[in-house]
Amino acid sequence: MLVKNNEDLYELLDSLLREPTEFWNTFYKDKEKNVPFFCDRPDEHLVKYIERQIIKPRKVLEIGCGNGRNAIYLAQKGCTVTAVDLSQRAIDWAKEQADVNNVNIQFVCENIFNLNLELQEFDYIYDSGCFHHLSPHRRVSYIQFINKYLKNNGYFSISAFKENGKYGGSSLSDKQYYMDRTLYGGLGYSKEKLQILFSEFQEIEIRDMQHNNLNRDEFGLEDFIVCIFKKV
């Protein structure tokens, strides 16, 4: 490959690591397997942002929507939702669930870095568990993505593995992932790392996810960090 621009360079680096589409399609083959987020409950922090009116989104983009549990909640709360995932199996499952819940969501099966929607149209971009599966160089593409699709004064949220937590959350150096050619199941983040990475945005809140094993309406796992930022 002849690297001519940044995108060529990112694609070259992508090729050193796992190709995600096949991995995630295989991951979603068995919907009955014991995966915590194979459920129909929305994230606890998302429910709080909406109930406490920290955000009042109208048009929402969910990235890495999986089975659609958060997209469906947002649609039930009156948002116009576009939900993207690169796995066709995840999208098919999410469409089924949207039908069961009688909500209308625009689903798109695509890698977020190949997405081609209208520019800057969303009030809120929601990511539950996608960002920590992206390789270090794709953080640059991720911030470009947020700036491209989020309106000024819009918000975005991420939930990610905490470093060295129960679910992994690798804390190796960025260089090591390319040397070992693996992300070790997902990268771990701390409050400080998120503050550094998203310093061009206004921090609204960064906190631990609340572990909600007794709450039947909301989903929460220990060893996750959740954050919400504003594009100003």
Ligand X SMILES: C[S@@+](CC[C@H](N)C(=O)[O-])C[C@H]1O[C@@H](n2cnc3c(N)ncnc32)[C@H](O)[C@@H]1O
Which parts of this chain interact with ligand X (CB under 6 A)? 20, 24, 37, 63-67, 69, 84-87, 90, 111-113, 128-130, 133
| Residue among 111 and 202 whose Cβ is closer to ligand X | 111
| Residue 34 near residue 97, CB atoms below 8 Å | no
Nearest to 227 by CA among 133, 202, 172: 202
Cα(198)–Cα(178) distance, rounded to whole angstroms? 22
CA distances to 29, 90, 215 from 38, rounded to whole Å, are 12, 10, 16
| Residue among 76 and 153 whose Cβ is closer to ligand X | 76
The two most distant CA atoms of the chain are separated, in Å, by: 54
| Residue among 144 and 202 whose Cβ is closer to ligand X | 144
For the chain, the residue count is 232
| Residue 168 near residue 185, CB atoms below 8 Å | yes
Burial of 13 (0-12, 13-18, 19+ CB in 10 A): middle
| Residue 109 near residue 88, CB atoms below 8 Å | yes
Cα(135)–Cα(14) distance, rounded to whole angstroms? 8
The secondary structure element, H or E, covering residue 61 is strand 59-63
Cα(198)–Cα(209) distance, rounded to whole angstroms? 19
| Residue among 134 and 206 whose Cβ is closer to ligand X | 134
SS3 state of residue 51: helix
| Residue among 111 and 153 whose Cβ is closer to ligand X | 111
| Residue among 10 and 178 whose Cβ is closer to ligand X | 10
- Please report how close the Cβ of residue 24 comes to ligand X at its closest, in angstroms: 3
The secondary structure element, H or E, covering residue 124 is strand 122-128
| Residue among 55 and 209 whose Cβ is closer to ligand X | 209
